[in-house]
Structure 1
């Protein structure tokens, strides 16, 4: 090998567990605090998007998951972003969107007549849950094309690259898998393969080991596999994914379902919740999302040798311990020398990762009353989704301080903290 060569769904479990307190984390090598200069990102502009959750950008357009569909924002004029449409999509629990060229992928976790807490989902073969595909050659007028069905629990996260859709089939936890889908004809998506952790590592057969998210780059797919850490697959042949590396597995990942596995899922010592490699592929950034005990930070792994990956740094979460909401990491964006992060109630932050071993915080945006799902870099701005309220376009030099004018997290439909 060369160096480069229980049936209960998670959202139902969250209803059972409820909102838990959060405390701070410690790590191997924490990101340095900002310097003495003006380190506050400025609010350049904003646009209300009721129900806002994940946002992805493509040049002058932004696409936002809204719980029961998605919204499209035109920001050709960054000082006057305009929501040009809000569109209902089949199913509910829509928290994930991805775009590549003229194709938009919108993932749904539940049907219009979803099951209640503690009830088995109805595996209706006609249910429109899974990942929905839209033609966005005219972004203001999306055209529904098809649905790649994933029954019975739909899709929380997916990734879209060229003609391939990577679907993280998270639930039921004991049936979790990465599904690789050919979308070269988006009116007829075709499954090419699926990769199941337990088939390769039977010793890791546990409801605590499930694929929560996926990021594809080049010949590799990087899987955030919760307690089983990050698994890297060679997908150069999409019909036959092959594992080439793994790292960040928790010490309890091989305990199966003994004891209280749900406590292991939702509490410390953490997990692999979101993963993204650096553009050159030499480092992988892995965010944890925890619900009790230590709040999840972001670990940095050197993977220049897939046979011997090494953790080289960790950016710690803040210890706010507000007793209600999270200060744990969520989705982030990695460029060649910057890391753009969202920390739920603990704001959005930018880190200089020119030296990945020593990440240094350079800017932050942390207004009262906001909670952030996503932070992405586009066109010289940091675009963040304020949960339930909308988008904020941030700039290092231009704009004003302070919170956006729209209401935030309390207004989000179909949203539960920790998804």
Structure 2
């Protein structure tokens, strides 16, 4: 990743993204069995290698407060699972899905990554260390911290919580000694955290009346006000959808101002459970119009694109039809003059799509789509059907000789979250866009957006593995290593 003798600004950002992604494997271990020369979906092209065309720059196990060398070695792990990683300036905010003895009661780790930001040479990078500054306690031991987002000024975190830890045998009997419980064991919701003092995060406000909880959320400032867009996922009692809150910094109040759902009725005969599943959302000020625009992943209802300039009156302006719309993110800028976004499946198992009609790339590990979103504001009065530019799949049984099925369970080989990053060559000024795709046991995959033919081309990957104690592994979902949830 390094240019000859020094790192330019764009290169430091690239290193940072890979480093933050490495946080996501801190507490997960386990190794697939050797394949003895036969095709093994858990160890396909990567036997004996941990990366290709990228460098693994750092690792912190989240074991305790302190630096990589003093508190972050594999033998000193976080006990439980890790979810989202979000970066703001010199800090990474790491969600902790579950936390049990010997690291009980944690919800979020706040990590100083300034050493990596300041690195100018490879020698600097070798000396750089991440340092955990503090842990914010989980307010309710029956819920999992499913998502973490940070405000644009870096002063607030917004957490989505769900009562999922109990389902996976991760329920503990105590929480952080300084954290008073704010919700019952069978509810989940939104938690706002003041992180102005990175060493002493404090709770700012909560909204927690959501049965199955808030799976993912996003913060965005619109008209000078703070809004949180939160996905209440499974249709349980007519209450699924994207909930919109205005966050009042002076009081900590999360004021519910809207709820949006897809207007179509779910066709429950067309696909396996969970049909219409409001899963995840990202919001950006559109690079062409400046309009606050939400990209909402709605499972078998596909990708929904929404004008959220007035959060109390939301308009659908685009739609990309797909199965299992798990995550979507827009490019941060126009790509060769075009507005594009990335959308991807989440694939629970190798046989999940049995009986599913019109599934893109069945019998595979799941697909990443490059979507043309250029038309969304051409006529805001209609919902524009967005065309597909290209798709990419890590492993596909139809393209591997002698393989009839890609066999896996527990989401182990699926795509997960991604970012689209603008890379600028510090020498020539040339601009390229890359998808940094988290892929659970597939690690981090790097896909170039080739504008010559509008294709996704894999250019590198990283699958680091660290030998943490077996007792620290995440329970319930899977224990593959690595288990990359998201890059940032």
Q: TM-score, normalised by structure 2?
A: 0.60
- The SS at the match of 1:314 is strand
- CA-CA distance at 1:354 after TM superposition: 4.6
1:95 aligns with 2:159: no
Q: Following the alignment from structure 2 to structure 1, what is the Cα–Cα distance between the partners of residues 147 and 210?
A: 17
Deviations, residues 232-253 of structure 1 (Å, cap 9, x unaligned): 111111001111111123xxxx
- The SS at the match of 2:82 is coil
Q: Following the alignment from structure 1 to structure 2, what is the Cα–Cα distance between the partners of residues 301 and 409?
A: 42
For residue 460 of structure 2, the aligned residue among 353, 363, 368 is 363
Q: Following the alignment from structure 2 to structure 1, what is the Cα–Cα distance between the partners of residues 254 and 371?
A: 34
Matching residue of 2:158: 105
- CA-CA distance at 1:279 after TM superposition: 1.6
Point out the structure with max Rg over C-alpha. Answer: 2
For residue 212 of structure 1, the aligned residue among 265, 268, 279 is 279
1:410–1:324 Cα change, 3 Å: farther
1:351 aligns with 2:447: yes
1:409–1:287 Cα change, 3 Å: farther
1:299 aligns with 2:352: no
Larger RCO (CA under 8 A, 6+ residues apart): 1
- The SS at the match of 2:58 is strand
Matching residue of 1:286: 343
* 2:266/2:276 contact within 8 Å kept: no
Matching residue of 1:19: none
Q: Following the alignment from structure 1 to structure 2, what is the Cα–Cα distance between the partners of residues 201 and 339?
A: 31
Q: Where does 1:18-417 land on structure 2 (aligned, <5 Å)?
A: 39-49=52-62, 50=78, 51-68=81-98, 69-78=107-116, 79-91=128-140, 92-100=143-151, 101-110=154-163, 127=184, 129-162=188-221, 163-173=226-236, 174-185=238-249, 187-197=252-262, 200-202=263-265, 207-218=274-285, 219-249=292-322, 270-280=323-333, 282-291=339-348, 292-293=350-351, 294=363, 295-306=365-376, 307-319=384-396, 321=406, 323-324=408-409, 326-336=412-422, 337-355=433-451, 357-367=454-464, 403-404=465-466, 406=468, 411-412=473-474
1:416–1:209 Cα change, 3 Å: farther
* 1:222/1:275 contact within 8 Å kept: yes
1:181–1:411 Cα change, 3 Å: same
- CA-CA distance at 1:231 after TM superposition: 0.7
1:112–1:274 Cα change, 3 Å: closer
* 2:168/2:475 contact within 8 Å kept: no
Q: Which moved more, 1:104-113 or 1:177-186?
A: 104-113
Deviations, residues 245-284 of structure 1 (Å, cap 9, x unaligned): 11123xxxxxxxxxxxxxxxxxxxx410001011236112
- The SS at the match of 1:301 is strand
Q: Following the alignment from structure 2 to structure 1, what is the Cα–Cα distance between the partners of residues 248 and 268?
A: 33
* 1:67/1:414 contact within 8 Å kept: no
Q: Following the alignment from structure 2 to structure 1, what is the Cα–Cα distance between the partners of residues 92 and 183?
A: 31
- The SS at the match of 2:198 is coil
Q: Following the alignment from structure 1 to structure 2, what is the Cα–Cα distance between the partners of residues 314 and 358?
A: 7
Aligned length: 321
Unaligned runs of 5+ in 2: 1-39, 42-50, 63-77, 99-106, 117-127, 170-181, 286-291, 352-362, 377-383, 398-405, 423-432
CA RMSD across the alignment = 3.1
- CA-CA distance at 1:113 after TM superposition: 7.7
Q: Following the alignment from structure 2 to structure 1, what is the Cα–Cα distance between the partners of residues 86 and 373?
A: 26
Q: TM-score, normalised by structure 1?
A: 0.69
